[in-house]
Amino acid sequence: MTETDFILEQIVDYVLETSITSDLAIDTAYYSFLDSLGCAFLALQFPACTRHLGPIIAGIQVPHGTPVPGTQFIEDPIKAAFDIGILIRWLDFNDTWLAAEWGHPSDNLGAILAVTDYVSRLHPQKQLTIKDVLIAMVKAYEIQGIFALENSYNKIGLDHVILVKLASTAVACALLGGNRQQIINAISQVWLDGNSLRTYRHSPNTGSRKSWAAGDATSRAVWLAMMSLKGEMGYSTVLSAKKWGFYDVYCQGKPFVFNQPFASYVMENILFKISFPAEFHAQTAVECAIALYPQIKDKWDTIEKIILTTQEPAIRIISKTGPLNNPADRDHCIQYMVAIGLLFGQLTADDYEDNAAKNPLIDTLRNKMIISENPAFTKDYYDPSKRSIVNSLQIIFKDGLSTEQVTVEYPIGHRRRRQDGLPLLLKKWQNNVATVFNGDQLSKIQQLFEDKETLMNTAVPTVMDLLIKPS
């Protein structure tokens, strides 16, 4: 009998046998849960997002169907996972993880919510609770994040949502009742898929697929899990097989590297996007811009140049000159985000839309920016004891005077600023949920969600039914 790739065994051991005992991880998962749903509610304000929602065949009726929060759609768990995933991810405002590979672990919530709701409706005598959701989130975050620490898929041209698919498949299969072999079979299929190219994240092809790629990955995960439960076989050496395995095809024969076991590290150290929907490498740059805004307001024509000093990943991923073709292009341009912060003292999702982008002052300021790497910033970015995301900004005026150089090392959503950030995160949630609900329903939602202990002990379908948008 062929020996199974060790990492497949490690994943299934973690998913089935590891208990989550970290109070910090569960507490952080609670805030991640609120924040992710809040991001989903805010995304419902954008037609480019909502056109993707709803059953593939309009009007189809689904027994034991899952509600899509903030809508009236009741769907099968595969499409529900897609819709929940796309809503959470659309505005690039959900939590994130930066390492050798970056990504957004809350993308996995699409699969987790869809499956826990579906299973609970199918077996009403043993419904899962929101605490089960939070535990599943911790495990999905951990699988995605630990893989990302030392293994970079973007460097071989693959999109980071490969890890969303992996984590969601493992957790979804377990939640559906999969046994050890069924989970191994399911996650082996993830590597066989080949996975998405990163083309849609980079100029000149940056486009809206980057906003639904995670929904695609998390829904595919549910499908693979359900296929496995129906008896579909697995592929025990999908990674290590000579010539045809993932390592030889994509990684020049080199196996994945891991520097720590699966536990709860990723959830405990997750990065929240609190103040504005900006790609995370630019979060501190926007903070710098907003800090300088009072000094340069209405003085745009007196500016000679804008000195932006950053880390290497920001330059590689989000530094762009020239035309920006759509919101997906703009929300991954550090110069655009900084320009908005300097012009308005804030940055919102609406600032990426076409009407906002017509403001000629945005490109005027972009063209004045000089961006460069500070090697010390890059070093601290990769330092496991720091994981900082540093940016500095200084304005030089035509008369030779200048502002001070403003430097922000850790964004407000970083663990090192967690206590300052959590009240703001809760306010973000409250603002976002109020974009969809009002009156008694809004009050009931807020009362339940802001009582952590009660929420954790509430059945998933009870929560999901509360989040159906009224007709």
User: Mean pLDDT for the chain?
Assistant: 94
Same fold, 6-268 and 280-411: no
Q: Report strand pairing: 303-310 vs 66-67.
A: unpaired
Helices (runs of H) and strands (runs of E) counted in the chain: 22, 6
Query: What's the token pair of residue 467?
Result: 């989040």
The pLDDT of 315-338, averaged and rounded, is 93
* pLDDT tens, position by position, 195-215: 889 899 888 898 899 899 999
| Helical pair 130-150 and 161-175, crossing angle rounded to 10 deg | 140
The pLDDT of 213-226, averaged and rounded, is 97
pLDDT score of 390: 96
For residue 142, pLDDT over 80 is answered with yes
> Given strand 303-310, what is the order of strands in its sheet?
369-373, 303-310, 391-397, 406-408
Q: Which residue has the tokens 């559906």?
A: 176
Q: Which residues contact 48 (CB under 8 A, 6 or more apart)?
A: 208, 327
Which range has the worst mean pLDDT, 4-8, 181-185, 252-256, 415-419? 415-419
For residue 2, pLDDT over 80 is answered with no
For residue 1, pLDDT over 80 is answered with no
* pLDDT tens, position by position, 265-303: 999 999 999 988 888 899 999 999 999 999 999 998 999
Q: What is the CATH number of domain 6-268?
A: 1.10.4100.10
pLDDT score of 60: 87
* pLDDT tens, position by position, 162-201: 999 999 999 999 999 999 999 999 999 999 997 889 899 8
Nearest alpha carbon to residue 181 among 8, 34, 33: 8
Alpha carbon distance 43, 433 (integer Å): 11
Alpha carbon distance 243, 398 (integer Å): 61
For residue 100, pLDDT over 90 is answered with no
**Residue 448 or residue 300, greater confidence:** 448
The full DSSP string for 117-175 is HHHHHHSGGG--BHHHHHHHHHHHHHHHHHHHHH--SGGGTB-THHHHHHHHHHHHHHH
pLDDT score of 280: 86
pLDDT score of 328: 86
The pLDDT of 245-251, averaged and rounded, is 94
Query: What's the token pair of residue 398?
Result: 């035509």
CB 200 within 8 A of CB 210: yes
280-411, which class in CATH? alpha beta
pLDDT score of 155: 84
What is the percent of the chain with per-residue pLDDT over 70, rounded to a whole number?
100
For residue 34, pLDDT over 90 is answered with yes
CB 120 within 8 A of CB 137: no
Model's pTM, two decimal places?
Answer: 0.91
**Residue 384 or residue 453, greater confidence:** 453
Q: Burial code of 403-436, b = ≥16 C-beta within 10 A, e = fewer?
A: beebbbbbbbbbbebbeebbeebbebbbebbeeb
Q: Locate the domains of the chain by residue range.
A: 6-268, 280-411
